Every structure is written in structure tokens, then in C-alpha cells.
């Protein structure tokens, strides 16, 4: 494991209890509904009932019920995360939701899944902190079936427009927002690559279709 990954895991191990609360407060400060923004990203996966979906860096699993709304009871949900504490919270939450999910401890740049195993692959938050972002994107594409959507989202602010006050403050106090969307790290075989912004312009969304 890279030093960056170890640090990130330790950070989330200590933060798991507060993670959902911190997210709610961040959404309030941005003046958006966190769940509505997450739903937007999930819609871009183009899911249909029965699909098998992987969320890389699933965290406490907030997106899983939103994915389940599309794939239904015949679908299969798989979540991977580097932090056992985040996975433990996710397991508890999913029990409360009555959702069956396979949760796997692992690292995004070395996914323990077969090639072309999933109908869609989702990542919502975390990649900006990864030590091997290129490897993680390549892995998401490897495990996606040909024609499957891969959606990668994280914090950031657009560099091609005038920024509002919130974005300027985020840039000043949270250096991670200064990282550009990792478009240049996407393998050239990827099809229909698109970039958009959501969460009030404080997150990017990269969509692509696996070749
Ligand atoms: C910002 S949270 C996002 C959680 C969830 N996807 C969400 O939308 O709320 C980032 C997650 O990435 C996980 N993580 C960090 N580095 C990782 C890595 N290299 N491989 C897999 N997961 C990682 C953390 O443990 C944490 O749960």
C-alpha cells in the first residue's frame, strides 16, 4: 500500500462516526441538497433493473439506496473501500435500509474483481486523495463491461469561469479543491468522455463509456 493510501485510510478510520454529519453540514453550506446532487450523478450511470453495480470508495454507503432505486431487487450492489470503519458504518446503514450489498475491503488501484464484471462503475468522492489516480481510473474501466458507464466524481472548482464566493473560499481554505478533474489520466480507449459540474459547482463529474 502507498503511504498516501495508508494516510487516507487512517484519516477515514478516525472520521467514520462523523462522516455523514460532516457531509450534511457541507451540503447546507453550499446551499444544495446532498441527496439531490447524488441522485443526479447516479442517474448518469444509465442503470436498468437487474444491473450489477460497483461503487469504488463506497464510504458509509449513502449512494447505495439511490442506486438500488434503479437496479431493483434483481440488481446486485457491490461496494469497495479501503477503510474498515467506513465499511462497518455502511454495513449497519444498509441493514437499516433492508438492502443486500456485498462490501469488500480493498484499494481502488488494485480492484479484486474480474475483467468486465459490472454493468456500471461509480466513484463519488476520494480520488483527489489517491496516490495512484491513473491506476484507479484504469481499474474502474477494466472491471466495467464493454459499453458500461463509468462515472467518477470528486471535489473541485471549474477553472473556465468566474467563481462565486463559496468556491473562492473553498479554494483558499481547502487546497484539494485546486486539483483539476483527472481528464488527462483517462485511457484514450474510453468513449464519450464528458465533464460537468454539480454540488453547486464545487464537484466535477466525469462520465465515460467503457470500450
Ligand atoms: C469522501 S469519501 C466518499 C464516500 C462515498 N463514496 C460518498 O459518496 O459519501 C472517500 C472514501 O474513499 C475511501 N478511500 C480513500 N482512499 C482509497 C483508496 N485508495 N481505495 C479505496 N477507497 C479509498 C475512504 O476510506 C472514504 O470512505
Interval 109-143: pLDDT, tens: 999 999 999 999 999 999 999 999 999 999 999 99
pLDDT at 4: 87
Our answer on whether the CB atom of 156 is closer than 6 Å to any ligand 1 atom is: no
Give the whole-angstrom CA distance, residue 164 versus residue 139. 35
pLDDT at 195: 97
pLDDT at 91: 98
Our answer on whether the CB atom of 82 is closer than 6 Å to any ligand 1 atom is: yes
- Count of other CB atoms within 10 angstroms of residue 10: 13
The alpha-helical segments, DSSP class H, found in 31-154 are 34-43, 64-71, 84-97, 133-143
Residue 28 has pLDDT above 80, yes or no: yes
**Do 90 and 84 contact (CB within 8 A), yes or no?**
no
Percent of the chain scoring above 70 in pLDDT: 100
State the distance from the centre of ligand 1 to the C-alpha of 165, rounded, in angstroms. Answer: 27
Choose the residue to mutate in 26, 65, 82, 84 for probing ligand 1, maximizing ligand atoms within 8 Å of C-beta.
82
Task: Quote the number of domains for the chain.
Answer: 1
Kindly report, residue by residue over 31-64, the tens digit of the pLDDT. 778 899 999 999 999 999 999 999 999 999 999 9
pLDDT at 167: 79
Among 85-99, 107-121, 146-160, where is mean pLDDT lowest? Answer: 146-160
Helices 19-30 and 84-97 sit at what angle, rounded to 10 degrees?
80
Paired sense of beta strands 203-209 and 191-198, if any: antiparallel
pLDDT at 11: 92
Residue 2 has pLDDT above 80, yes or no: no
| DSSP assignment letter at 48 | -
pLDDT at 128: 94
Choose the residue to mutate in 5, 18, 78, 81 for probing ligand 1, maximizing ligand atoms within 8 Å of C-beta.
81
Choose the residue to mutate in 9, 126, 135 for probing ligand 1, maximizing ligand atoms within 8 Å of C-beta.
126
pTM of the model: 0.95
Query: Could you list the residue range(s) of the whole structural domain that residue 128 is in?
Result: 3-209
pLDDT at 134: 97
pLDDT at 86: 97
Helix (H, G, I), strand (E, B) or coil at 6: helix
pLDDT at 172: 86
Task: State which ligand 1 atom lies nearest to the alpha carbon of 132.
Answer: 19
What CATH number is attached to the domain comprising 34?
3.40.50.150
pLDDT at 70: 98
pLDDT bin (cut points 50, 70, 90) of residue 78 is very high
Amino acid at each position: 500500500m502507498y503511504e498516501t493510501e495508508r494516510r487516507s485510510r487512517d484519516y477515514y478510520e478516525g472520521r467514520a462516526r462523523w462522516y455523514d454529519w460532516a457531509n450534511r453540514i457541507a451540503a447546507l453550506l453550499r446551499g444544495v441538497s446532498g441527496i439531490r446532487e447524488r441522485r443526479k450523478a447516479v442517474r448518469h450511470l444509465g442503470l436498468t433493473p437487474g444491473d450489477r453495480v460497483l461503487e469504488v470508495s463506497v464510504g458509509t454507503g449513502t449512494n447505495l439506496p439511490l442506486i438500488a432505486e434503479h437496479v431493483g431487487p434483481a440488481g446486485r450492489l457491490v461496494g469497495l473501500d479501503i477503510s474498515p470503519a467506513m465499511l462497518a458504518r455502511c454495513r449497519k446503514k444498509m441493514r437499516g435500509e433492508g438492502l443486500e450489498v456485498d462490501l469488500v475491503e480493498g484499494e481502488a488501484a488494485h480492484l479484486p474483481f474480474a475483467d468486465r464484471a459490472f454493468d456500471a462503475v461509480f466513484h463519488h468522492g476520494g480520488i483527489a486523495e489517491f496516490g495512484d489516480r491513473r491506476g484507479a481510473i484504469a481499474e474502474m474501466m477494466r472491471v466495467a463491461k464493454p459499453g458500461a458507464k463509468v462515472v467518477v466524481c470528486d471535489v473541485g472548482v471549474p477553472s473556465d469561469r468566474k467563481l462565486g464566493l463559496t468556491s473562492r473560499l473553498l479554494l483558499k481554505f481547502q487546497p484539494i479543491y485546486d486539483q483539476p478533474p483527472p481528464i488527462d489520466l483517462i485511457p484514450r480507449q474510453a468513449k464519450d468522455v464528458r465533464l460537468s459540474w454539480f454540488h453547486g459547482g464545487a464537484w466535477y463529474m466525469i462520465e465515460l463509456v467503457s470500450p
